[in-house]
């Protein structure tokens, strides 16, 4: 019995050692080490030196999929796979737990495997110029993600689970097919840049007023006919681009944006601006061309903002 027990204990110890060694094979490089790490652009060489590969550049190498063998590079922290013909990522991508930055721009991806959303160290993701039709619920699992670029896809919907991306600082959904946003978009506490140019947005949810860190809100080339009064709560906002919409009026609350420096209202249907325009004390540039202002209103605007460059 004692011999059997000793054998069992020995087997357990061996097993634990193997697990420890397996875990030890993955290493998250410090910023200084990462900056000087070798960039592998030859896959065969990379696969021969798996444990040394932290940066992989397979840009424009005619890949049609991100294959399982590439997912054996378990120390990868950076991938540049842009300008290929990739239509799918292997589910084995979930092995790449050290990944921090991925660039799959200009490919043919329509969806991602569920395992991709288990990559909890991801900070920057670029899927611009692909074929995604939605910003799906899975992205909500990427709690450490800071930058998400999905411009020039076919995105028509944004899942409410977007609210769970608590670290997200920049979201680019420009040049897509969005007609509406979920109210949960306002629950992104770290968001600084929200880029929504060239969509089909007809209105903004009131929840957008909860974006307390947002600095740049880009909404030009949409179908907006009005703005929610809650937009005046964006106290950190520095630039607000609303050119080429269908706005007929601007809420008075916009004059509470005391840090606003750039306001683009060109190519709308405006006949007047808010009464307390003079409160925009930091406004440097105001673009108002192609609206319907009377000469008297133009003069009032000039007098209210004597230090602002104004383009009618």
Print pLDDT tens along the chain (312 aa).
444 343 443 343 333 333 333 334 556 666 656 667 899 999 999 999 999 999 999 999 999 999 999 999 999 999 999 999 999 999 999 999 999 999 999 999 999 999 999 999 999 999 999 999 999 999 999 999 999 999 999 999 999 999 999 999 999 999 999 999 999 999 999 999 999 999 999 999 999 999 999 999 999 999 999 999 999 999 999 999 999 999 999 999 999 999 999 999 999 999 999 999 999 999 999 999 999 999 999 999 999 999 999 999
pLDDT of residue 32: 59
pLDDT of residue 122: 98
Residues near 273 by Cβ (< 8 Å), separated by ≥ 6?
250, 265, 297, 301
Distance of CA 292 to the CA centre of its chain: 35
3-state secondary structure 242-258: CCCCCCCCCCHHHHHCC
* Element holding 36 (H helix, E strand): helix 31-36
CA angle centred on 250, ends 247 and 252, rounded to 5°: 170
Instruction: Let me know if residue 117 belongs to a domain.
Output: yes
Strand partners, 310: 286
Instruction: Let me know if residue 290 belongs to a domain.
Output: yes
254 in Cβ contact with 274 (< 8 Å) = yes
pLDDT of residue 15: 39
Overall domain count for the chain: 1
Distance CA 170, CA 195 (A): 8
Q: Which two three-digit tokens encode residue 153? A: 């896809």
Instruction: Let me know if residue 7 belongs to a domain.
Output: no
Instruction: Let me know if residue 149 belongs to a domain.
Output: yes
111 in Cβ contact with 86 (< 8 Å) = no
Instruction: Let me know if residue 238 belongs to a domain.
Output: yes
CA angle centred on 234, ends 231 and 236, rounded to 5°: 155
Strand partners, 66: 89
Residue 201: CATH number of its domain = 3.80.10.10
User: What b/e sequence results for 30-43 when a residue is b if at least 16 CB atoms lie within 10 Å of its CB, and e otherwise?
Assistant: eeeeeeeeeebeeb
Instruction: Let me know if residue 46 belongs to a domain.
Output: no
**Which among 256, 200, 264, 195 is positioned nearest to 231, based on CA atoms?**
256
Instruction: Let me know if residue 17 belongs to a domain.
Output: no
pLDDT of residue 244: 98
pLDDT of residue 6: 37
* Domain hosting residue 301, numbered range: 92-311
Threshold 0.95, pTM exceeds: no
Instruction: Let me know if residue 126 belongs to a domain.
Output: yes
């Amino acid at each position: 019995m004692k011999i059997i027990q000793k054998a069992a204990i020995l087997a357990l110890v061996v097993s634990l050692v193997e697990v420890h060694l397996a875990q030890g094979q993955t290493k998250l490089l410090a910023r200084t080490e990462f900056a000087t790490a070798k960039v592998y652009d030859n896959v065969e060489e990379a696969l021969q030196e798996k444990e040394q590969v932290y940066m992989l550049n397979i840009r424009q190498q005619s890949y049609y999929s991100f294959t399982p063998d590439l997912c054996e590079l378990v120390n990868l922290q950076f991938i540049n796979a842009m300008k290929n013909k990739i239509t799918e990522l292997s589910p084995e991508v979930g092995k790449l737990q050290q990944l921090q930055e991925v660039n799959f721009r200009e490919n043919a991806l329509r969806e991602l495997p569920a395992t991709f959303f288990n990559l909890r160290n991801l900070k920057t993701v670029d899927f611009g110029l692909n074929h995604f039709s939605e910003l799906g619920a899975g992205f909500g699992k990427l709690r450490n993600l800071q930058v998400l670029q999905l411009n020039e896809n076919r995105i028509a919907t944004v899942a409410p689970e977007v609210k769970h991306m608590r670290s997200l600082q920049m979201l680019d959904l420009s040049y897509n097919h969005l007609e509406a946003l979920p109210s949960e978009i306002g629950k992104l506490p770290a968001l600084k840049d929200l880029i929504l140019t060239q969509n089909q947005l007809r209105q903004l949810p009131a929840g957008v007023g909860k974006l307390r860190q947002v600095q740049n809100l880009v909404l030009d080339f949409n179908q907006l006919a009005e703005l929610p009064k809650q937009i005046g709560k964006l106290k950190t906002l520095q630039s607000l681009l609303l050119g080429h919409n269908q706005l007929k009026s601007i809420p008075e609350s916009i004059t509470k944006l005391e840090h606003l420096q750039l306001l683009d209202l060109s190519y709308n249907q405006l006949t007047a601006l808010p009464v307390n325009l003079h409160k925009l004390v930091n406004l440097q540039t105001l673009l108002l061309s192609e609206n319907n202002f009377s000469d008297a209103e133009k003069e009032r605007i000039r007098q209210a903002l004597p230090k602002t460059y104004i383009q009618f």
